[in-house]
Amino acid sequence: MSAPHQLSLAEASTQIAARKLSPVELLEDCLARIAAQDPKLNAVIRLTEEEARAGAQAAEEEIARSGPRSALHGIPVGIKDIIDLAGHPTTCHSRQRLDHRADQDATVVALLRAAGAVFPAKLATHEFAIGGPAFDLPFPPARNPWNPAHHPGGSSSGSGVAVAARMMPTALGTDTGGSVRHPASHCGLVGLKPTYGLVSREGVFPLAFSLDHVGPLTRTVQDSALMLNAMSGGREDFSRDLGRGLKGLRIGFVRHFHEADMPADAEMAEALETASKLMEAEGAVISTIRLPPLSEFAAVNRTILQSEAAVVHEEWLKTRPSFYAGVTRRRLLPGLFIPAVDLMHAARDRTRLIAAVETAFNEVDLLLTASSMDPACRIDDEEAVERTYPRQARTPFNVTGHPAVTVMAGLSSGGLPLSLQLASPSFSEALLLRAAEGYERAAPWKDRAPPLDV
Amino acid sequence: MDDATLAALIRAAGLEETAREFPDDVRDALATVARQRAALPRSSHPRLEPTPGYLAPRR
C-alpha cells in the first residue's frame, strides 16, 4: 500500500470516505514529507501545521460521525503566498509585505475550507507573481524536484514543487501570463487555468486585474476537476465527463505556435507530435488550425499586465524600490512608462484576438498547443531563465479568458518533464478536463514521479 | 535617447528618487517600453471596442 503522501487527491479522498485513512494520518505523513524534502526544494514559506492539525482532527471526528462533506474533506491543500489565509501573513514572497497579516480567508480558500480542506503551508512564489527565481529575497527560490539544479517554472513555483514532490496532493496557484501552467509544465503536473471569472479573485493579491486567474495544481486531471468543483462553489460537477475519452472530439492543433512563431526545442516538438497522434488513435479528429501569431498575444498581454501591475505597485516603486528583488523591480518599472494610448490599443486588440479564438471554436471543440517551448533550464543561469521564460504559448488564454490546462507529455533526454496544453470554449471546463483525462489515460506519464531519494 | 528626454520622462513618471537609486533599471525600463511599442498591434478601425468593455451597473 502506498504511503499516504503518495496518494492522489482522489485516492486519498476515497480512502478517507471508506475510513481506511484518517485525515490526521494523511496530514502527518505530508508534514513528514515536507520535513524530509523541503530543505532542498524550498517550496514552503511558512508552515501552518498547528491549524492544519486542528482542522484534520475536526475532519476526522466529523467524518466518523456523519461522513465526508465533499471529496476535499480532510485533504491538505497548499496555498500560494499571494492568497490570503486568515490569521497569517500573505508575504507575496516579498520584503514589502513581511508585516502583513490577513484578517480573513480569500474567497477561494473559504470555499475550500467549507468543503473540508486543511491548509498545512503557504508556498513560495516568484515575488508578487511577476519576478523570476531570485536569490535576493527573504525566502529562497523553489527548486525543481526532477532536478533541484533546475527552475521549477513560475510564478506558482512552490505550488508546483510541493505537489510534484508529494508534499501535499494539491495546491492553489495563480495564472496571469501562464503561472499555474508553467510550473505544471516543468514539474510534470496538471495545471488548470479556469475561465476568467469562474473562480473568485477576492483576497488574492492582484498582479493584473483583467488577466489574473486562480487555478489548481494537481497530479491528475481527476484531482483538478475535484478541486475546481470546490473552488467554484460547487455550482457544477466538472468531473462529470471524465472517462468519456477523446472519441469524436474535434481538436485543432495550433502547430504554428511552436513550429514557426517560436520554434520549440526538438524534444518538446516531438512530444507534441506524439501526443497528437495518440489523441488521434484514441478517436479524436485532429486538424491543423491557425490563430493570430503568438507575438500578438504576447504584446497585448505584456502591455496590459505591466500597466495594471504598475497601478498596484506605483507607490512602492517610488518610495521603497530597494525592497524588491532586482528582477521584480526590472519587470515592474516599464509599466510606469507605457503611454495610455498603448494600453487602449492593447485592450482593443484583445477584442480582435478573442474573436479569432472564438472563430476557431466554431470549427473545433478544443485547441492543442505547446505550453512551454523548452524543458526547464538551470535555476542559476540567469540568462537562460530570462531567455526561456517568455518562450511559451500560455498567454493567449490569459488574454482571451478561455480555460486551458497543461498536462505532462513526456520526459526529455535530461530527465525533465515535457508538456502540452489544451484549451476550450469559455465555461466548458468539463469538456476540457474530459479531453485532458482521455489523453492522460492513454499516455504513459500519469504515474511518473520525480526521482527523489526518500 | 538623449539625457534631457530621459530626465523629462523620469520626472513625468515621478521616478526621480528611484532613478537616483537604480539608474540602470529605470533606463532599461524605458528601453523595454520602446522595444515593446514596436511590437504592439495598432488597429486603425475606429469602432473597435476595448476588452474588458464598460457596462453600467444594473440595479
Per the annotation, the verdict on A179 as an active-site residue is yes
Mean pLDDT of the region A307-333: 98
* Residue A31 confidence (pLDDT) above 60: yes
Instruction: Give contacts of A344 with chain B, Cβ < 8 Å.
Output: 50
By the 8 A CB rule, do A191 and A160 touch?
yes
At A447, the pLDDT band (50, 70, 90 cuts) reads confident
* Residue A367 confidence (pLDDT) above 70: yes
> A13, A22, A94, A155: which is the annotated catalytic residue?
A155
* Residue A371 confidence (pLDDT) above 80: yes
CATH classification at residue A138: 3.90.1300.10
Selection from B28, B39, B32 nearest residue A299 by Cα? B39
Residue A130 and residue A174: Cα distance in Å, rounded?
A: 11
| CB-CB under 8 Å, A345 with B42 | yes
- Is B6 part of the contact surface with chain A (CB cutoff 8 Å)? no
Instruction: Determine the structural domain holding residue A9 and report its residue range.
Output: 4-296+338-442
- Please give the mean pLDDT across all residues of chain A: 97
Model pLDDT for residues A220-277, shown as the tens digit of each residue: 999 999 999 999 999 899 999 999 999 999 999 999 999 999 999 999 999 999 999 9
* Residue B26 confidence (pLDDT) above 80: yes
Check residue B1 and give its pLDDT.
Answer: 82
| CB-CB under 8 Å, B33 with A347 | no
* CA distance, residue A343 to nearest chain B CA (Å): 10
Model pLDDT for residues A33-69, shown as the tens digit of each residue: 999 999 999 999 999 999 999 999 999 999 999 999 9
Q: Give Cβ neighbours of residue A436 (< 8 Å, ≥ 6 apart).
A: A190, A221, A224, A405, A407, A422
User: How far lies A371's CA from each of A80, A314, A395, in Å?
Assistant: 21, 31, 9
Model pLDDT for residues A377-422, shown as the tens digit of each residue: 999 999 999 999 999 999 999 999 999 999 999 999 999 999 999 9
> A80, A122, A193, A446: which is the annotated catalytic residue?
A80
Closest residue of chain B to A348, computed from CA coordinates: B50
Mean pLDDT of the region A274-293: 98
Peptide bond preceding A276 in cis form (omega within 30 of 0): no
Please count the structural domains in chain A.
1
| CB-CB under 8 Å, B25 with A329 | yes
| CB-CB under 8 Å, A348 with B48 | yes
Strands of A17-175, DSSP E: 44-47, 77-80, 121-123, 170-175
User: How far lies A114's CA from each of A86, A173, A239, A327, A387, in Å?
Assistant: 14, 19, 19, 38, 42
User: How far lies B57's CA from each of A269, A284, A430, B53, B54, in Å?
Assistant: 47, 43, 31, 12, 9
* CA distance, residue A296 to nearest chain B CA (Å): 7
3-state DSSP percent of chain B in helix, strand and coil, to 5 = 60, 0, 40
End-to-end CA distance of chain B: 51
* CA distance, residue A400 to nearest chain B CA (Å): 9
CA A248 to mean position of chain CA atoms: 28
φ and ψ at residue B45, rounded to 5 degrees: -65, 115
> A157, A159, A179, A426: which is the annotated catalytic residue?
A179
Residue A170 and residue A346: Cα distance in Å, rounded?
A: 35
* Residue A306 confidence (pLDDT) above 60: yes
Model pLDDT for residues A111-163, shown as the tens digit of each residue: 999 999 999 999 999 999 998 899 999 999 999 999 999 999 999 999 999 99
* Residue A187 confidence (pLDDT) above 60: yes
Closest residue of chain A to B16, computed from CA coordinates: A318
Selection from A415, A53, A443 nearest residue A220 by Cα? A443
At A454, the pLDDT band (50, 70, 90 cuts) reads low
**What's the burial of A454, exposed, middle or buried (CB within 10 Å: 0-12/13-18/19+)?**
exposed
- Is A57 part of the contact surface with chain B (CB cutoff 8 Å)? no
The residue among A440 and A132 whose pLDDT is bigger is: A440
Segment holding A287, helix H or strand E: strand A285-288
| CB-CB under 8 Å, A351 with B48 | yes
- Is A300 part of the contact surface with chain B (CB cutoff 8 Å)? yes
* Residue A5 confidence (pLDDT) above 70: yes
* Residue A307 confidence (pLDDT) above 80: yes
Selection from A249, A246, A268, A87 nearest residue A186 by Cα? A268
Closest residue of chain B to A336, computed from CA coordinates: B13
- Is B33 part of the contact surface with chain A (CB cutoff 8 Å)? yes
What are A423's three cell numbers? 484549451
Q: Give Cβ neighbours of residue A117 (< 8 Å, ≥ 6 apart).
A: A55, A72, A73, A74, A75, A76, A77, A230
Chains A and B: how many Cβ contacts under 8 Å?
88
Closest residue of chain B to A329, computed from CA coordinates: B25
Check residue A433 and give its pLDDT.
Answer: 98
Residue A430 and residue A50: Cα distance in Å, rounded?
A: 36
Instruction: Give contacts of B52 with chain A, Cβ < 8 Å.
Output: 210, 347
Per the annotation, the verdict on A94 as an active-site residue is no
Check residue A2 and give its pLDDT.
Answer: 86
- Is A86 part of the contact surface with chain B (CB cutoff 8 Å)? no
Mean pLDDT of the region B23-31: 97
On whether residue A312 sits in a domain, the answer given is no
- Is A354 part of the contact surface with chain B (CB cutoff 8 Å)? yes
- Is A322 part of the contact surface with chain B (CB cutoff 8 Å)? yes
Residue B23 and residue B19: Cα distance in Å, rounded?
A: 4
